[in-house]
């Protein structure tokens, strides 16, 4: 039974590694979805600000309220993102 126990143990280790790989892949996918949401919200924010500055806002829409809503959504989504390494170079959106 010693050999059978070793085979079971090895199989279990392989299964655990596979689960870890799937979880890492799902985490990465979730992170990419959040980053896409941030990008979409920034684009929407830019559109609202442009409309406000150019005087082309839609009737009945208060640009200040829309800006506040989008910024609040952005902050919520950014808070969900995992912390990135502090040694990593800043993303292009962070450069000023």
pLDDT tens, per residue, the chain with 96 residues: 688 888 888 888 888 888 888 888 888 999 999 999 999 999 999 999 999 999 888 888 899 999 999 999 999 999 999 886 544 555 666 544
Q: Do the domain assignments include residue 27? A: no
Q: In this predicted structure, what is the pLDDT of residue 87?
A: 44
State the Cα–Cα distance between residues 65 and 79, nearest whole angstrom: 21
Residue 30 lies in a domain: no
Q: Is residue 68 part of a domain?
A: yes
Q: Is there a domain that residue 20 lies in?
A: no
17 in a structural domain = no
For 28, list phi and psi in degrees, rounded to 5: -65, -40
Q: How many domains does the chain have?
A: 1
Token readout for 71 is 């910024």
User: What is the C-alpha separation between 60 and 93, in angstroms, rounded?
Assistant: 31
Does some domain include residue 39?
A: yes
Domain of 61, in residue numbers: 35-81
Q: Residue 48 has what pLDDT?
A: 93
Any domain includes 5: no
Task: Report the C-alpha gap between 17 and 33 in whole angstroms.
Answer: 24
Note the pTM of the prediction, 2 decimals. Answer: 0.65
What pLDDT sits at residue 20?
87
Q: How many CB atoms lie within 10 A of CB 35?
A: 15
Joined together, the tokens standing for residue 2 give: 């010693």
């Amino acid at each position: 039974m010693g050999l059978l126990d070793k085979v079971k143990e090895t199989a279990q280790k392989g299964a655990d590694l596979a689960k870890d790989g799937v979880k890492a892949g799902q985490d990465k996918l979730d992170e990419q979805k959040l980053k896409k949401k941030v990008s979409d919200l920034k684009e929407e924010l830019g559109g609202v600000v442009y409309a406000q500055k150019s005087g082309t806002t839609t009737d009945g829409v208060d640009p200040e309220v829309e800006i506040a809503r989008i910024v609040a959504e952005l902050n919520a989504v950014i808070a969900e993102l995992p912390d990135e390494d502090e040694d990593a170079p800043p993303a292009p959106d962070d450069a000023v």
